[in-house]
Structure 1
Amino acid sequence: MGPMRWDNLRLDDGAEPGPVAPLIERRAIARTFDTPGFRGMTFYEVQARSIINRVPPASRMPFQWTINPYRGCSHACVYCCGGDTPILMADGRTKPLREVRVGDRVYGTRREGRHRRYVVTEVLDHWQTVKPAHRVTLRDGTRLVTSGDHRFLTGRGWRHVTGGEPGARRRPHLAPGDDLVGTGRFATPPKVDDDYRRGYLCAVLRGRGHIGPHRVRLPAGEADVLARGRRYLEHFGVACDGARPVTRERVPRGPAERHAEGIGVRGAVAVAAVERLTRWPRPPSRSWHTGLLAGLFDTGADGDHTVSRIAVAGTEMFGGLKDALAELGFTFTADACAGAAPRGVRLTGGVRERLRFLHAVDPAATRKWPVEGAAVASDASLAVVSVEPLGLEAPLYDITTGTGDFIADGVVSHNCFARRSHEYLDLDAGADFDSKIVVKVNAGELVRRELAAPRWRGEHIAMGTNVDCYQRAEGRYRLMPPILEALRDAANPFSILTKGSLILRDLPLLVEAAQRTEVSTAVSVGSVDRELWRLVEPGTPAPDKRLEVCAALNDAGVRCGVVMGPVLPYLSDSPAQLEEAVRRIAEAGATSVTAITLHLRPGAREWYLAWLREHHPDLVTPYARLYRGGAYAPREFQQRISQRVRELAAKYGIDRRSPGHRGSAPARPQTSGEPSSSEPSPGELSPGKPSSGEPEQLSLL
C-alpha cells in the first residue's frame, strides 16, 4: 500500500490532459487486501473532484443525473491462465500468453452447423491478475496452470477448472476423465544453432536455388524466406549483394502472396563458402534435419487446411525429406509422379500433426499452411487426469477475443468478455474492470457539498445504473451511508438499482430518507429460471435472493420495484416464462415491474453471441436477424414484451401496490387485457424494422 501516480485517468506531467483529468486529484492510494474475496484486486482510493454527474443525452437514459462512487466492479469474474501458456497465433506460431497484446491476431473457434472450426480473431483486451493457481494435467502430458475460475471446452460443454461454491450454486467443473477439445500440447520450437542454419540453407539453395561457379542465388519467393536466408548466410560471414531482379512465371495474386526479388552471392571465395555450408553431412544431426524440413517447407509447401504436402526437386532431396520426417517422428505418404520417381510427401494426422510440424520445425513461411476453417476435432488423448491446487497465488493472465475463446496449449479456452461500459468510464474494459477498482473515498463529502451549491436544483439522482453501488467493495469502504445521509438531509429525491443484498445494511437510512423525499429502489431480475441464471449470470445472487431483498425493502416502507431485465429473446420470453416471473415478482411485494429486452452493446454483444453459439447454436441465426439493426431489438418486439408484462402486472395486482403492501393476487384476474392463446409470443415474431432505441433498454451488463 502506498501513494502512486494514476496511470489510467491522468497522463504524465508534460502531456496534454485527457478528458478525465479534472475528475480526480493528482495522486491515488493503491491498496490490496488479503481477504479471499479481494485477492488479485487493487483498489485505487482517489479524491474525486466531482460526484454528481450529468448523463449524456445520447445515452437515452430516463434520468439526467447519477452518482457512481466506484469505477469498476468487484462482482466481476476473472478467467485466467499462466503467463507461459502458449497461445496459437494467426500465423500458426505460438506466443506466451503474457506477451500477447491488444490488436494481435490469434486463432479462436466458431461453430458452423455440427462442427466447430478454427477461425482467426483479434485480441480485444489483455490483462494480469493474481489468483490461487491450479494445475490441470491431461493424458497426453499437457499441463495447464490456471485459476479455478477458468473454463475449458469439453465434450460435455464448457467446464470451470473447479466447482466454486458448494451446494446448489456449484458450477459445472472438470473431473478426471473429462475430454477436452483440441489438438493437445504444442511442440517445442527448435533450437536455432549452426546445424539448423546449414540444413535450412541446404534445402533452400540446393533445392530451389542456384549454386554456380561464380554466383549463388536464393530463389525468388516469400520475403520472409529470403530474409531468413540472407540472415543465415551473413551469420556465417557470407555477404549478400542485395536484391536482384529475378524472372518469375507466377505473378502475385494479392498482398497475402508476398513475393520478393532474389538475393545473390558473388565471388569465388563466397561461392566456395556456400558450397561448404550446404554440403550434405554424414550423418546429419537432428538439428540439421529440422532446418532442412523448414527450408523444404518454405520452398515447396503447398496445401490448405485439408492437404499438407511438400514437393521437392531431385532424388537426393526427396530422400533427405523422408529421412528428416522419420527422424522427427512424422508419419507421411509419398506422392508418385507418372513414370518418374516420387517427388513429394503428404503428412498424415490432420491439424494436430500439421501444427506439430509448424512448431517443431519453425519454417519462415507459415502462412502457406493455414488451419483456418479446419475442424477442431482431433484424435489427441486429452482426458483430464487431475486438477490440483498448487497452494500458492500466481500471476495469471487472460485475453478477450472476438470469438470469445482462444487456443491455449492446444485446447479450446474460454476468455472473459470486454466490459465496454468500463471503457465509457475511461478505464480498460477487461483488466481494469475486474482488478482495478476506483474508490472515490470522498464521495459522501462531495455529495453534501454539491447538493448545497446554489446551482443545484434538487433534481432526481439515479444510482447503480452503470456500476452497482452495492458491490462487494462497499462492504469494506461504506461509501453509501454518507451519500444517503447527505441526500436525506437535503431531501433530494433519488433511486437505486442493485443486484446485491448489501442494500439492506442501509435500510434504516433509506427509511429515514423516504420520510423526507421521494425514494425508490429496484432490483434487477431478468428471469426466475435458475438454470438460465447459472449460465448467464453465474456471479450474481440467485433470483430468489434478489426477490427477498425486494420484499424486505417494501416491508420496511421503502418503495421497491423490479427491473425485469434483460429479457432474453427466445430464451426467457415465452408466455409461460414471463407469467412465472411476474407471479414470483408479485409474491415478493414489488410495487412495479418494468420489462427490458436484451440490449447488446459492443463488447457485451461479442460475449453474448459467443455464449449463444456454444449453448444455443440454433439461435445464432435468429439473433443475427433480430439485432441486425444494431444494439436494440426491433421496436415492435420490445413493445410486445413490455405490453405482455404490463398485462401480467395488472393480473397479479402489481400496478395497484404501495410500499408495505404484500399479498396474494386478485382471485379472478382481469381478462380484458389478457393475451389470447393464439397470440404469438415475442419469440415467434419476425424481426421487423430496427428500433432506434427506447429509454427503458438495459444492457446485458
Structure 2
Amino acid sequence: MRWDNLSAPPDEGTPDGAAPATPPLPLALPGAVARTFDTPGFAGMTFYEVQAKSIINRVPGQSRVPFEWTINPYRGCSHACVYCLSGDTPILMADGRTKPISDLTPGDRIYGTERRGAYRRYVVTTVLDAWSTVKRAYRVTLVDGTTLVASGDHRFLTERGWKHVTGAMGGPGKRPYLTTSNRLIGTGRFASAPKDSADYRRGWLRGTVRGDGGPDRPFRLAVTDHEALGRAARFLADAGIDPHPARFVPVTTARRAGTAIRTARQRDVETIAELVGWPEAPTDDWRLGFLAGVFDAEGSCHRGVFRIGLRDDATLDRVTDALDRFGFRWVLEDAGHPKRVRQVRLTGGLPTRLRFFHLTDPAITGKRSIEGAALKCQAELRVATIEDLGLELPLWDITTGTGDFIANGVVSHNCFARNSHTYLDLDAGADFDRRVIVKVNAGELVRRELAAPRWRGAHVAMGTNVDCYQRAEGRYRLMPPILEALRDFANPFSILTKGTLLLRDLPLLRQAAEVTRVGLSYSVGFVDEALWRAVEPGTPSPRRRLEAVRQLTDAGFQVGVLMAPILPGLSDDDESIDATVAAIAAAGATSVTPLALHLRPGAREWYAHWLAREFPHLVPRYRQLYRAGSYAPQAYQRELTARVRIAARRHGLHRGEAGDNRRLPEPPPPPVAEQLSLL
C-alpha cells in the first residue's frame, strides 16, 4: 500500500490554533489525526499527522537526480488515487509473464513504453509506488473481447493520444475521453497462464528432453540456461527423482558452457522414460507444456521473428498439431540444413508471440523479451462499449519510471504524485496543496536510522520532492531535530528550497557545517513579481528568496541557485533571463543552473488548463514543445542553457568548485530578531 510506512500518532491534544478535524480521512490513512487551522494562510487545508516507520528513502535507480538518499518529512496527498484499475487487471512484467495489479509492489520490474524515433517502444521500467482506493467503476470493452474495469479518470493511449474513460465536451468536466470511434494502442487482452498440472509438467519434460534419456542408458539433460534446468530438476523431483548436477564441456568454443542434471539409477531412468513418453490421447495441458518445453529447447525469438527448429518428424508433427489446436498461424520453412532441420515460424506479429508466451509459459525468460519492440501492430482494439457499473469498487494504480504500463494488453497511463513540485510549485490537483501528510516523528526516525549499523554516512538530499521548508514547517518544526541528528552524526546533506524559513535554522546549519559538508540551494526561476503571483502564489517572492541567499552567503555558505522553472514564452526571453541572472549574482550565489519547465503527467494537465485560461496564445507553442513527452526538446534546453551561461559571465557569476563548508568564517553580528512570515 502507498502509505504502509505510516501510522497514526498517539492523540496528545490539539495544538494551538487548530480547529476540530472535520474532513474525512483518506482510505489509505486509517486512524491518522486530521487537523485544520483557522489561520488565513492555511484556510481550506487539512494536515494528516502520522507516525512514519521510516524516513531516509533510496531514490529509484532510473531517476535522473545525482543523489541516492532523501528525507521528506512532508508528503502532499496527491490526486494519484483517482487513476485506478480493477485489482485483477493483468500487468505485463519484465520477465514476460503477467501479474494482477493488486499484487504489484514498489521495485517490481514491468514493461512500460518510451518514444524512440518514429515509434513508441516497449521498455522495462520499475514500479515506484502502488496503492488502492474505492472509486466509481466503469467497464471498457473492446471489439476483440478485451475488458478493462477502471475509474472514470483513468487514461488509456489511443490513436489520438491519451484519453480518460469519461469526460465532457464542455464545462468544468471538459477533457479528452473515450468514445466508440477510438482505438486503443497495444496487443489486446492477455491469455491466461497454463495450470501447473501433472499433464503440463509431463508435456514440458517431453518437449525439453525429446528422447535424450531411455531405459537402457543413464539419463542426462544438458542445457545452457539455468531457468530451464531448474524447472526440469523441480519437475523431476516432484515425480520422486533426484537427479545430480554435473558440468559438461561445450562442443565448440563458440558455445556457452553449461550444467546438466543426470541420474544412472535404473528406476529413475525407467520413471523418466514413462514421464516423457508420447501420450495416446494428449490433453490440452500436456500440449501447452509440450509447446513450452520445445520452445525452451529449440526455439528462438530474434528481432520479432519466432521460430522453432526441428529435425525429428514426430516432434514436428506434434508441434504443428498443438499449434493448430490453439489457433496459432504458422508456416514451415526449410532452413537448408544438411541434417534436414526445418523451422516452424509463427505469424501474426507481437500479439501472437505474447499469446504463445502467456498461454504456454516457457521457462527461459530471456527468449520472451519484447524490449525495444515497436507499438505498431494492427490489433483490433476499437472501443465497443463503455459501461457505468453503478458501483464503487476497490481499484488499484501504480506509478512507474516511464509514466505508463501495459494493462491487459493496452497502454495505460499511470498516476504521478507531483514529482517536480519542488521546482514548479504548480498544482497537479487541489488535493496536493490542500491535503498534507505530516510525519510528526521525522526527527527521531532520522536519529535512529543514522545510528543503524548498516548506514554508511551517505549524502542525504532534502527538498527535492516536497519542500521541507514549506509553510507548514512554521507550525510543525520538523526540520530542527532532523538537522540536529545530521549534525550529531556528521552526516553530509543538502537542502533545496523556496522557503525563507530556512533562515530560522541558520545556527543549526552552521553547527552542522563545522563537522560535515552542507549544501544549500534555492529555487528561483524568474524575478517577475506578476508572474510569481500567477504561478507560485503560495511561495515566498523571488525577492525574499534572494534576500535569504544573501544572508546565507554572508554567513559563510556557498549557495547555488536552481533557475527553475524557466517557462517557455513567459520567462525564457533574453530580458527575463538577464534580469533573473543579475539578481541571482547580486545576491551572492556561487552558481546558477537553468532548468526548463518539466511537465510530468498530472502537473501537465494542471498547467495546460492554467495556460489556456491565462495565456491562450501560447498553447500552440507548448503543444509543439512538449508533444514528445514531459521534457522540452534537447535543442531548446541546450539553447536555453547557453543563454543563461552568457548572462552569468556578463554578471560575473561563474560555477566554481564545491566548497568545504566545514570551515566557515566568523559569523557577522546577529541581526535584530524579527518574526518570519509564513507566507
TM-score range, shorter chain: 0.5 to 0.7
Partner of 1:184: 188
* Structure 1 letter corresponding to 2:236: L
Partner of 2:381: 382
1:549-628 matched pairs, under 5 angstroms: 566-569=565-568, 616-617=626-627, 623-624=633-634
Distance 1:147 1:33, change over 3 A: farther
Q: How far apart are 1:379 and its partner, in Å? A: 2.1
Distance 1:7 1:351, change over 3 A: closer
Q: Does 1:162 align with 2:166?
A: yes
Work out the CA distance in 2 between the residues paired with 1:43 and 1:7: 13
* Structure 1 letter corresponding to 2:384: V
8 A Cα contact 1:42 1:437, kept in partner? no
Work out the CA distance in 2 between the residues paired with 1:135 and 1:146: 7
Partner of 2:141: 137
Distance 1:74 1:352, change over 3 A: closer
Q: Which moved more, 1:113-122 or 1:344-353?
A: 113-122
SS of the equivalent of 1:211 reads coil
Per-residue CA shift, 1:578-625, capped at 9, x if unaligned?
Answer: 9xxxxxxxxxxxxxxxxx986668x9599879x999984468896335
Q: Does 1:44 align with 2:58?
A: no
Work out the CA distance in 2 between the residues paired with 1:110 and 1:375: 10
Work out the CA distance in 2 between the residues paired with 1:606 and 1:227: 44
* Structure 2 letter corresponding to 1:403: T
Q: How far apart are 1:183 and its partner, in Å? A: 0.3
Partner of 2:643: 636
Distance 1:131 1:605, change over 3 A: closer
Partner of 2:261: 263
8 A Cα contact 2:191 2:358, kept in partner? yes
Distance 1:316 1:379, change over 3 A: same
Q: Does 1:234 align with 2:246?
A: no
Per-residue CA shift, 1:329-357, capped at 9, x if unaligned?
Answer: 11111121336645221111111101000
8 A Cα contact 2:138 2:149, kept in partner? yes
1:369-448 matched pairs, under 5 angstroms: 369-420=368-419, 437-438=436-437
* Structure 2 letter corresponding to 1:141: G
1:79 corresponds, among 83, 90, 104, to: 83
Q: How far apart are 1:247 and its partner, in Å? A: 1.9
8 A Cα contact 1:318 1:344, kept in partner? no
Work out the CA distance in 2 between the residues paired with 1:138 and 1:103: 31
8 A Cα contact 1:211 1:217, kept in partner? no
8 A Cα contact 1:120 1:372, kept in partner? yes
8 A Cα contact 1:31 1:42, kept in partner? no
1:525 corresponds, among 534, 549, 555, to: 534
8 A Cα contact 1:73 1:468, kept in partner? no
1:84-483 matched pairs, under 5 angstroms: 84-163=88-167, 167=171, 169-206=173-210, 209-211=212-214, 213-240=216-243, 242-249=244-251, 260-338=258-336, 341=340, 343-420=342-419, 437-438=436-437
8 A Cα contact 2:87 2:395, kept in partner? yes
**TM-score, scaled to structure 2:** 0.59
* Structure 2 letter corresponding to 1:44: A
Work out the CA distance in 1 between the residues paired with 2:74 and 2:149: 32
Distance 1:613 1:187, change over 3 A: farther
8 A Cα contact 2:81 2:397, kept in partner? no
Work out the CA distance in 1 between the residues paired with 2:308 and 2:138: 41
**Percent sequence identity over aligned pairs:** 42
Work out the CA distance in 2 between the residues paired with 1:214 and 1:345: 31
8 A Cα contact 2:207 2:290, kept in partner? yes
Work out the CA distance in 2 between the residues paired with 1:102 and 1:78: 19
Work out the CA distance in 1 between the residues paired with 2:352 and 2:373: 13
8 A Cα contact 1:332 1:347, kept in partner? yes
Q: How far apart are 1:575 and its partner, in Å? A: 6.8
SS of the equivalent of 2:377 reads coil
5+ residue gaps, structure 1, are 1-5, 14-21, 51-67, 442-463, 471-478, 481-493, 497-519, 528-545, 548-563, 579-595, 644-687, 694-701
Work out the CA distance in 2 between the residues paired with 1:34 and 1:46: 8
Distance 1:618 1:131, change over 3 A: closer
Work out the CA distance in 2 between the residues paired with 1:120 and 1:279: 39
Distance 1:49 1:376, change over 3 A: closer
8 A Cα contact 2:111 2:406, kept in partner? yes
1:655-694 matched pairs, under 5 angstroms: none
Q: How far apart are 1:130 and its partner, in Å? A: 2.0
Per-residue CA shift, 1:352-406, capped at 9, x if unaligned?
Answer: 1010000000010021132111111222111111222222222222112121111
8 A Cα contact 2:329 2:348, kept in partner? yes
* Structure 2 letter corresponding to 1:153: L
Distance 1:41 1:152, change over 3 A: farther
Distance 1:411 1:613, change over 3 A: farther
Work out the CA distance in 2 between the residues paired with 1:12 and 1:45: 7
Q: How far apart are 1:221 and its partner, in Å? A: 2.1
* Structure 2 letter corresponding to 1:276: E
8 A Cα contact 2:626 2:632, kept in partner? no
Partner of 1:661: none
Q: How far apart are 1:129 and its partner, in Å? A: 2.0
Distance 1:691 1:199, change over 3 A: farther
Distance 1:691 1:399, change over 3 A: farther
Distance 1:607 1:320, change over 3 A: farther
8 A Cα contact 1:179 1:384, kept in partner? yes
Work out the CA distance in 2 between the residues paired with 1:262 and 1:440: 54
5+ residue gaps, structure 2, are 36-46, 50-71, 441-465, 477-498, 502-528, 539-562, 577-592, 609-621, 659-679
Work out the CA distance in 2 between the residues paired with 1:284 and 1:614: 58
8 A Cα contact 2:92 2:111, kept in partner? yes
Per-residue CA shift, 1:429-451, capped at 9, x if unaligned?
Answer: 99x9799843699xxxxxxxxxx
Per-residue CA shift, 1:603-654, capped at 9, x if unaligned?
Answer: 9599879x9999844688963356579xxx638349989x9xxxxxxxxxxx
Q: How far apart are 1:44 and its partner, in Å? A: 2.8
Work out the CA distance in 2 between the residues paired with 1:72 and 1:165: 31
SS of the equivalent of 1:634 reads helix
Work out the CA distance in 2 between the residues paired with 1:154 and 1:113: 19
SS of the equivalent of 2:633 reads helix
Work out the CA distance in 1 between the residues paired with 2:22 and 2:292: 49
Partner of 1:54: none
Count of residue correspondences: 480
Distance 1:621 1:171, change over 3 A: closer
8 A Cα contact 1:418 1:604, kept in partner? no
SS of the equivalent of 1:367 reads helix
